[in-house]
């Protein structure tokens, strides 16, 4: 602003701590909200500040920003569509969610693609892990493309892929927006042969680490952000 900027736009392709959007223990800090408030405290330019966020884990995070700093939630639908169609080729496919939490969003994507949707039901066991307990669609002989907003360790995704393969799916692919991929995740995703390929965007820096791996497809988020900025 010292140099005459009329407006400041903060483009945040991957909003850190977005899975920490609520407190689960007494007196626990809601870290996503704390980070949003920090960004909101940046002095405003004459025409205001704004924040652009991509495919948030919880849509309500956009409302954690305060004062004269509105947040805009941009969806990477077009990249999901491209990836799903590329994986399926000319074959019909089912768009799936790895758990019930993503079911509503995956149903919306499937409606736009005009393909069937499915999701896996899971239950937390006594040891703190999770296991898939059922599927809501017949996937026998089908290509299944599983969508989740981010891939970290991949355990939830792999549990769903195993369930779909056990139910008769001919092959499974995974599509995500954020390839977070902590150490070991890259190897774990393909260790059991459950997934035939993984696609994501370059919102997270670790996506660059798999661009040389033919099992991964990484698409640029820049066109999605560019279109929004031109319109906004």
At 95-130, the pLDDT tens digits run 999 987 788 899 999 999 999 999 877 555 555 555
Instruction: Count Cβ atoms within 10 A of the Cβ of residue 26 and give its class: 0-12 exposed, 13-18 middle, 19 or more buried.
Output: exposed
- Give Cβ neighbours of residue 110 (< 8 Å, ≥ 6 apart): 95, 116, 117
At 122-153, the pLDDT tens digits run 555 555 555 554 576 788 999 999 999 999 99
Q: In sequence order, which ranges of 1-90 are alpha helices (DSSP H)?
A: 31-40, 77-88
pLDDT at site 28: 82
Q: Are residues 62 and 94 in the same domain?
A: no
pLDDT at site 26: 84
pLDDT at site 120: 79
Q: Which of 88-97, 127-136, 167-176, 203-212 has the lowest mean pLDDT?
A: 127-136
pLDDT at 175 over 80: yes
> Rounded to an integer, what is the distance from CA 150 to the centroid of its chain?
4
Let me know if 33 is a catalytic residue: no
CATH number at residue 22: 3.40.50.2020
Among 40, 74, 108, the domain-final residue is: 74
Would residue 224 count as lying in a domain?
A: no
Looking at the structure of the chain, the number of domains it has is 2
Select which of 33, 77, 104, 122 is catalytic: 122
Which pTM value belongs to this model? Answer: 0.89
Among 56, 74, 92, the domain-final residue is: 74
């Amino acid at each position: 602003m010292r140099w005459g900027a009329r407006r400041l736009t903060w483009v945040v392709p991957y909003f850190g701590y977005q899975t920490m959007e609520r407190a689960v223990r007494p007196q626990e800090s809601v870290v996503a909200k704390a980070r949003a408030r920090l960004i909101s405290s940046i002095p405003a330019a004459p025409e205001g500040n704004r924040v652009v966020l991509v495919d948030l884990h919880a849509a309500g995070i956009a409302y954690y920003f305060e004062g004269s700093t509105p947040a805009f939630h941009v969806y990477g639908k077009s990249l999901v569509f491209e990836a799903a169609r590329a994986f399926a080729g000319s074959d019909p496919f089912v768009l799936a969610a790895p758990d019930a939490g993503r079911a509503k969003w995956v149903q919306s994507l499937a409606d736009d693609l005009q393909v069937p949707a499915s999701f896996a039901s899971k239950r937390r066991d006594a040891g703190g892990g999770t296991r898939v307990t059922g599927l809501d669609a017949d996937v026998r002989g089908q290509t299944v493309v599983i969508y989740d907003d981010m891939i970290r360790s991949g355990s939830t995704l792999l549990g769903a892929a195993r369930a779909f393969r056990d139910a008769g799916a001919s092959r499974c692919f995974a599509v995500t927006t954020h390839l977070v991929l902590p150490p070991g995740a890259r190897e774990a995703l393909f260790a059991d042969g459950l997934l035939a390929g993984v696609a994501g965007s370059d919102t997270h820096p670790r996506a660059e680490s798999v661009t040389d791996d033919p099992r991964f497809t990484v698409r640029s988020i820049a066109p999605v952000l560019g279109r929004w900025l031109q319109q906004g």
